[in-house]
């Protein structure tokens, strides 16, 4: 069935995920949804020094929000912060250097952040697509460590802060590529068989959809959502998918177009009128499975994923003295 899924997904992508798809969908947008003042609200954006993360952070800053940029590369992050402050005239932009593939760093950051800041909206945007199997210093496959475990730990560690916030939201940037994958909990670190970075990434993105659905069930006073930005012209796409970029570059969305639904989910009142736990594309909830694709997984597998990630995460959590 994989050939069927890939073919249907790609045809869907050419129709909906390109710049033309965005332009068509945006005719039905209500501009007032995102013309809001979010001064006094606190937003944390991971992977915020480029691409969709930076575009999102910049638009939130324009609307007066306090924005915490969580980035891995200090030099690039400082350039991004300066650009955001200069363009938006918003001084409430804060920088945190964290490697989302390093679970210990995430735990340490989150503990410190909880003690020093408030948080209304968490945006899990950081991600990677490594095309050859690569292990982190902790022995974790890098795509899994960043896209799945990193997202799990960042969210889990900040839930106590979000539980106390007004109109708390968690938005995770996934990918339509997850539509070609069925949840596979038997090989989370892709150690069995040939390694295909694109399919590993798609599996991680399926896992993010499952995480969102599970969190929505467990935390009723936080609004969870996961979204697909479409095919956007970002540094990550250029570096990780050079052949795809070369072929599609004239049809790709801008970074701002890719970030539009993230922004809408983060700031609009309309977003939280919809149920928690949904998958969005161009400001609309969309199905998480293609027709006849056989990508549904049994509930016990989804619950098992949460259990396995919790066990992974606890291995890296240091116990604070006292």
The predicted-structure confidence for 66-101, as pLDDT tens digits, reads as follows: 999 999 999 999 999 999 999 999 999 999 999 999
Domain tally, the chain: 1
- 122 belongs to a structural domain: yes
- 217 belongs to a structural domain: yes
Whole-number pLDDT of residue 72: 96
The predicted-structure confidence for 119-175, as pLDDT tens digits, reads as follows: 999 999 999 999 999 999 999 999 999 999 999 999 999 999 999 999 999 999 999
Whole-number pLDDT of residue 240: 76
The predicted-structure confidence for 13-45, as pLDDT tens digits, reads as follows: 778 999 999 999 999 999 999 999 999 999 999
Catalytic residues: 201
- 7 belongs to a structural domain: yes
pTM: predicted TM-score of the whole model, two decimal places: 0.96
The predicted-structure confidence for 181-219, as pLDDT tens digits, reads as follows: 999 999 999 999 999 999 999 999 999 999 999 999 999
The predicted-structure confidence for 211-228, as pLDDT tens digits, reads as follows: 999 999 999 999 999 999
The predicted-structure confidence for 235-256, as pLDDT tens digits, reads as follows: 878 887 788 768 787 889 999 9
Q: pLDDT band at residue 322, thresholds of 50, 70 and 90?
A: very low
pLDDT above 50 (res 321):
no
- 32 belongs to a structural domain: yes
- 319 belongs to a structural domain: no
* Structural domain containing residue 268: 3-313
State the residue for tokens 């659905």: 213
- 283 belongs to a structural domain: yes
Distance between CA 154 and CA 105 in Å, rounded? 10
Q: pLDDT band at residue 319, thresholds of 50, 70 and 90?
A: low
Whole-number pLDDT of residue 11: 83
Distance between CA 100 and CA 70 in Å, rounded? 9
- 321 belongs to a structural domain: no
Which CATH number belongs to the domain containing residue 166 in this structure? Answer: 3.40.50.720
**Region 311-319 average pLDDT:** 88
Of 71, 308, 102, the residue nearest 210 (C-alpha): 308
Whole-number pLDDT of residue 14: 79
Of 89, 90, 87, 83, the residue nearest 49 (C-alpha): 83
- 12 belongs to a structural domain: yes
- Output the 3-class SS for the chain: CHHHHHHHHHHHHHHHCCHHHHHHHHCCCCHHHCCCCCCCCEEEEECCCCHHHHHHHHHHHHCCCEEEEEECCHHHHHHHHHHHHHHHCCCCEEEEECCCCCHHHHHHHHHHHHHHCCCCEEEECCCCCCCCCCECCCCCEHHHHHHHHHHHHHHHHHHHHHHCCCCEEEEEECCHHHHHCCCCCCCCCCCCCCCCHHHHHHHHHHHHHHHHHHHHHHCCCEEEEEEECCCECCHHHHHHCHHHHHHHHHHCECHHHHHHHHHHHHHCCCHHHCCCCEEEECCEECCCCCCCCCCCCCHHHHHHHHHHHHHHHHHCCCCCCC
């Amino acid at each position: 069935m994989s050939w069927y899924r890939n073919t249907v997904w790609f045809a869907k992508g050419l129709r909906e995920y390109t710049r033309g798809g965005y332009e068509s969908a945006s005719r039905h947008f209500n501009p007032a949804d995102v013309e809001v003042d979010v001064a006094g609200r606190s937003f944390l954006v991971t992977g915020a020094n480029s691409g969709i993360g930076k575009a999102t952070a910049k638009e939130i800053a324009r609307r007066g929000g306090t924005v915490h940029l969580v980035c891995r590369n200090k030099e690039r992050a400082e350039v991004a912060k300066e650009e955001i402050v200069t363009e938006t005239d918003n001084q409430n932009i804060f920088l945190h250097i964290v490697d989302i593939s390093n679970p210990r760093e995430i735990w340490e950051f989150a503990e410190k952040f909880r003690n020093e800041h408030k948080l209304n909206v968490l945006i899990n945007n950081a991600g990677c697509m490594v095309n050859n199997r690569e292990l982190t210093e902790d022995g974790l496959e890098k795509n899994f460590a960043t896209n799945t475990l990193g997202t799990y730990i960042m969210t889990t560690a900040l839930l106590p802060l979000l539980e106390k916030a007004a109109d708390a939201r968690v938005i995770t940037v996934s990918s339509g590529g997850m539509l070609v994958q069925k949840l596979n909990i038997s090989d989370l670190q892709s150690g069995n068989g040939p390694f295909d970075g694109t399919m590993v990434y798609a599996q991680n993105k399926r896992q993010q959809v499952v995480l969102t659905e599970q969190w929505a069930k467990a935390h009723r006073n936080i609004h969870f959502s996961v979204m697909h930005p479409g095919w956007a012209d970002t540094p990550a796409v250029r570096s990780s998918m050079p052949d795809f970029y070369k072929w599609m570059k004239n049809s790709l969305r801008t970074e701002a177009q890719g970030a539009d639904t993230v922004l809408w989910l983060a700031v609009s009142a309309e977003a939280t009128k919809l149920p928690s736990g949904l998958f969005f594309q161009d400001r609309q909830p969309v199905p998480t499975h293609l027709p006849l694709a056989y990508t549904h997984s049994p509930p016990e597998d989804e619950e098992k994923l949460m259990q396995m990630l919790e066990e992974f995460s606890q291995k890296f959590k240091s116990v604070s003295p006292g």
